[in-house]
C-alpha cells in the first residue's frame, strides 16, 4: 500500500461515492419519498426539522423586515423604559392598531419581545441587545440599501445590478468625499467598532508594542480603546484627509492627544507612514480587491522594521468550511459594495506571506459574526 501512487485510491473510490451522493439527493427530492418519510416515525422528526430549516430560509426576509420596523419605530428603546400595550405603541408610532398587533406578534415569535400577563409587551434578552449592542441599530437602519440591491438576486449575481451600497461607502473608491458623507461614514464605523475592539483585545496581546499605527483608523475608535488598555502605548493614525481629522477631538477628550500622531493620506496612492513597530488593519482588507490588498500589505511591510507586527481583524470567510456570517452576509455585502470580498484566514495569510510577512497567530474567533484575527510579523522586504 505504501507504494500506491498518491490519489490512486481516491480515483478508484470517488465515482461510487459521487454516484451514491447523487442517488441519495434524487431520492430525497422525490415527492413519493418525502410523503413516505413524513409518515414513517423514525424519519418523521428529521423531515420536520429539515422542513422548518427550509422555511426559515424562505421567511428570512420577512424576519429581517420585522427587525427593521422595530428599529425604525424605536420600539426596543421605548420598551426598555417600560412595558407598553399595543394600544400605546400604536399611538406612539402612528401605526394602525391592527397592524401593530401583527408587528408585535411577529416580534414575539422571533423572541425579541415577550407578552406579560396584563397584555403589555416587554423586551427579552435578545430584544434588549438591540439597544445595548453598540451601533447595531444604526447598522440595521442602513440595510434598506442592501435590501434594494438584492431585490433581483439573479441580476445581482450576474453583476447586472448598479448597487446603491457602492455609493454609500465612496471612500473605498478613493477620491474626495463631501464632509457630511465622511461624517456619516466615520460615525457609523465608530458606533459599530466597539464589539470589534472588545473581541480583538481578547484575542490579541498588544504587550511589547511601543508604537501602534492604525491604517484606515477613521475617527480613532479602535486606537483610543487600545490606548486605554495600555497607557504607555504611543499611537499613529492614518486615514483620508476627509476622515482622519475627526479623530483629534476624541483623543483630546480622553487626554491622549500627546500620545497620538495623526497622518492624512490614502494608502492607495501614498506610502504608509513609518515610525511604528506594529500596524493594525481593522475591517480594512475586506473592503478592497486582492490587488489593492496586496499593494497595501506591501506598503505595510515597507513601513515596519524587521520583526514588526501586523494585526488584522475583520469578519472572514470560513474557507473550506463556509459559515453564515462570512460566507452569506459579509460576502454578499462586500459584493454589493463592488470593491472587496470576505476572505478566509488562508487567503489573507497567502497575501501576507507574499508581501513579506510570516504568520504568527490565528486565534480562534470568539464571535465570527463580529470579527476574526490574524497576527504576522515582517521577516523580509517585499519585491
99-103, 148-152, 366-370: which range is least confident on average? 366-370
The closest of 265, 366, 275, 371 to 317, measured between CA atoms, is: 371
Which residues 6+ apart lie within 8 Å of 139 measured at CB? 188, 191, 192
At the topology level, CATH places domain 153-378 in Rossmann fold (3.40.50)
Instruction: Calculate mean pLDDT across residues 29-56.
Output: 70
CA 330 to CA 195: how far, in whole Å?
16
pLDDT of residue 132: 86
Q: Residue 36: is its pLDDT beyond 80?
A: no
Confidence category of residue 230, pLDDT binned at 50, 70, 90: very high
Instruction: Calculate mean pLDDT across residues 280-298.
Output: 96
Q: For the whole prediction, is pTM greater than 0.85?
A: no
Q: Residue 21: is its pLDDT beyond 50?
A: yes
Q: Tell me the domain boundaries of the chain.
A: 37-132, 153-378
Task: Decide if domain 37-132 falls under CATH 1.10.10.10.
Answer: yes
- The answer to whether 240 and 180 have CB atoms below 8 angstroms apart is no
CA 279 to CA 287: how far, in whole Å?
18
Would you tell me how many other CB atoms lie within 10 Å of the CB of residue 382?
A: 16
Confidence category of residue 153, pLDDT binned at 50, 70, 90: very high
pLDDT of residue 209: 97
Confidence category of residue 10, pLDDT binned at 50, 70, 90: very low
- The answer to whether 267 and 241 have CB atoms below 8 angstroms apart is no
Confidence category of residue 339, pLDDT binned at 50, 70, 90: confident
Q: What is the largest CA-CA distance in the chain?
A: 79
Q: CB-hemisphere CA count at 13 Å for 21? A: 6
pLDDT digits (tens, 9 = 90+) for 68-117: 999 999 999 999 999 999 999 999 999 999 999 999 999 999 999 999 99
pLDDT digits (tens, 9 = 90+) for 180-218: 555 555 566 666 678 899 999 999 999 999 999 999 998
Dihedral over alpha carbons 247, 249, 252, 258 (to 10 degrees):
40
Q: Where are the alpha helices (DSSP H) in 94-178?
A: 97-109, 125-132, 136-141, 143-149, 153-158, 165-168
Amino acid at each position: 500500500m505504501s507504494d500506491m501512487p498518491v490519489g490512486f485510491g481516491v480515483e478508484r473510490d470517488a465515482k461510487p461515492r459521487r454516484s451514491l451522493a447523487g442517488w441519495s439527493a434524487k431520492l430525497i427530492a422525490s415527492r413519493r419519498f418525502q410523503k413516505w418519510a413524513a409518515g414513517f416515525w423514525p424519519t418523521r422528526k428529521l423531515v420536520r426539522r429539515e422542513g422548518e430549516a427550509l422555511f426559515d430560509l424562505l421567511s428570512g426576509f420577512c424576519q429581517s423586515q420585522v427587525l427593521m420596523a422595530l428599529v425604525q419605530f424605536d420600539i426596543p428603546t421605548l420598551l426598555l423604559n417600560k412595558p407598553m400595550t399595543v394600544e400605546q405603541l400604536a399611538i406612539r408610532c402612528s401605526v394602525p392598531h391592527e397592524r401593530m398587533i401583527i408587528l408585535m406578534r411577529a416580534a414575539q415569535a422571533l423572541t425579541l419581545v415577550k407578552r406579560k400577563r396584563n397584555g403589555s409587551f416587554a423586551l427579552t434578552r435578545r430584544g434588549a441587545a438591540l439597544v445595548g449592542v453598540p451601533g447595531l441599530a444604526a447598522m440595521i437602519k442602513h440595510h434598506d440599501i442592501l435590501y434594494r440591491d438584492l431585490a433581483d438576486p439573479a441580476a445581482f449575481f450576474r453583476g447586472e445590478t448598479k448597487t446603491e451600497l457602492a455609493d454609500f461607502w465612496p471612500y473605498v473608491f478613493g477620491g474626495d468625499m463631501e464632509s457630511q458623507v465622511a461624517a456619516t461614514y466615520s460615525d457609523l464605523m465608530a458606533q459599530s467598532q466597539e464589539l470589534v475592539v472588545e473581541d480583538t483585545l481578547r484575542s490579541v496581546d498588544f504587550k511589547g508594542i511601543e508604537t501602534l499605527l492604525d491604517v484606515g483608523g477613521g475617527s480613532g475608535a479602535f486606537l483610543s480603546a487600545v490606548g486605554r488598555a495600555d497607557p504607555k502605548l504611543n499611537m499613529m493614525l492614518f486615514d483620508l484627509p476627509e476622515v482622519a481629522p475627526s479623530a483629534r477631538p476624541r483623543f483630546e477628550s480622553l487626554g491622549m492627544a500627546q500620545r497620538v500622531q495623526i497622518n492624512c493620506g490614502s494608502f492607495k496612492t501614498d506610502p504608509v507612514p513609518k515610525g511604528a513597530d506594529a500596524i493594525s488593519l481593522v475591517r480594512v482588507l475586506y473592503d478592497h480587491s486582492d490587488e489593492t490588498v496586496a499593494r497595501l500589505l506591501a506598503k505595510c511591510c515597507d513601513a515596519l522594521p524587521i520583526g514588526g507586527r501586523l494585526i488584522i481583524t475583520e469578519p472572514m470567510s470560513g474557507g473550506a468550511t463556509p459559515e453564515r456570517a462570512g460566507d452569506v452576509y459579509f460576502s454578499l455585502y462586500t459584493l454589493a459594495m463592488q470593491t472587496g470580498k470576505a476572505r478566509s484566514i488562508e487567503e489573507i495569510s497567502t497575501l501576507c506571506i507574499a508581501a513579506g510577512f510570516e504568520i504568527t497567530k490565528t486565534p480562534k474567533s470568539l464571535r465570527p459574526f463580529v470579527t476574526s484575527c490574524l497576527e504576522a510579523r515582517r521577516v523580509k522586504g517585499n519585491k
